[in-house]
Structure 1
Amino acid sequence: MATWLFDLGNTRLKCAPLAADGGIGEVVALPHREGEVAAQLRQFLPARFDLACVASVSGSALTAQVLATLAAHCPRISVARTQSTFAGLRIAYAQPRKLGVDRFLALLAARRRGGAALVCGVGTAITVDLLDADGRHLGGRIAPSPTLMREALNLRAPHLPVLGGEYHEFAADTEDALASGCDGAAIALIGHSLAAARKQLGTSPALYLHGGGGEVLLAQLPMASWAPTLVLEGLAIWARGAGATAVGADTIRPC
């Protein structure tokens, strides 16, 4: 059965086929704009496949547009939902629906990689989640990403640019100061979380960084592993672990 995986975020749609070994095939990343995503998908999707597994943290209108496009290509679509326990992972939230599905799937992937982990996603928000070596999610943090910080500053002070600048410990112009301050806030949050995780666990967890804004932080976080496909990896685990037919999934059968 041919299965495709779709990770719909706030700025990009990542897609990959589920490989025969249970991993993910070649990943395609599409910066999406409402009204254009259908045409972009049609350019590379096969005419027909059997199952689409979708994880979305995007708005309902864009999600509906993606689902409608996929319905023209496959007879079954399963939308992933956060579950309290799955594949050896136990999340900390008493109400699973409050934990974003992207965080849930990234934790699944970290659990499969083994050992304790601090999983950090950098997109519209920064999310930080701690996982112990036994698969227990110990909770996390959410904060604005550097991109969102700069956009918010620009809204209140339009002379402060949204883009530009490079990271310096002490910057000598406005663009660099903005990049240094906003990136530095994210770096400090992740660094503080890693130190707190070491203290709580009694050992140093692996640090995984993913999301569209994560790569720029790597130079200041040399201990981090860059894991850009972590959510898709988790979606692959969910798909082959009966998640696509579980109570936690919404299954759509197009006519």
Structure 2
Amino acid sequence: MASPRKDGPKGRHALLPSPATAAAAAGRWFERHRQTMLIMDAVCIALLFLLHIFTATVPSFSLGAAVSTVAAALASLIFLTVVWKGVVPAVICALGIALMHGSIVLPYNAPPDPQFPDEFFNNRPPEQHPSAKMSFHVAVEMYFALGLAMVAMSMIIAYRPSLMFTKNRPQSVEEMWNRYPLWHDNVELVGGRLEPSVPALTLMDERDRYLMWRYEYVLADIYGRPHLVRPDGMVPQKSTSFVRDRASGLIMGVPRFTGYFA
């Protein structure tokens, strides 16, 4: 007998994906189209640059609303390609596109040249009145340049953060240990003879065995090459020596728990 169909609001909501699932799916889609996003960002920035030149040279007030709408649409597309990469690049990008958009629409809202009273200059007439046109021209150029720099920084943080790293920055723990191969209890021929393997714990002293709960892997020199060995693994008896810290004398290795370093 077929089960009754569950309709109603509860059944319909059960078919809808959760916000976390939808966000994960959107992130995977953006990651697959990463190169397309970068190309679209370059096109949008180029179009914003053309709009910036157009408004600075031909400030046609009848086109102010249309130019502002196009600039807002292009800025929104740039923000959409960066916001999914995290809060920091999203905030920097939002500030940058706000400055770029403001520099494009600013010429359509320029006031007339101000007339400052003589009291502002200590009761002496100025030699030359400041020009609002020149002030707005400088502000437009500076706003657009600063906004473009912030957008470029947000894209670097989002897509290529390694460019922001210093050359001699400290290596992470994962990078430090990934350069060593794992020892898989394999047996190798040495001088044409098969060397017997023994548990790694038998080659350690009592203090080392007592501290083995801290290690996921220990660093050992096997056949003249450093390897990462499991504490309960098998190693060649005569061709294995453990690498120790010079200061403490303890065996070096990958910590099993966060906060314990050896």
Superposition TM-score, scaled by structure 2 size: 0.24
Pair member with larger Rg = 2
The structure with the greater share of residues assigned to helix is: 2
TM-score, normalised to structure 1's length? 0.24
Structure number with higher relative contact order (C-alpha < 8 Å, ≥ 6 residues apart): 1
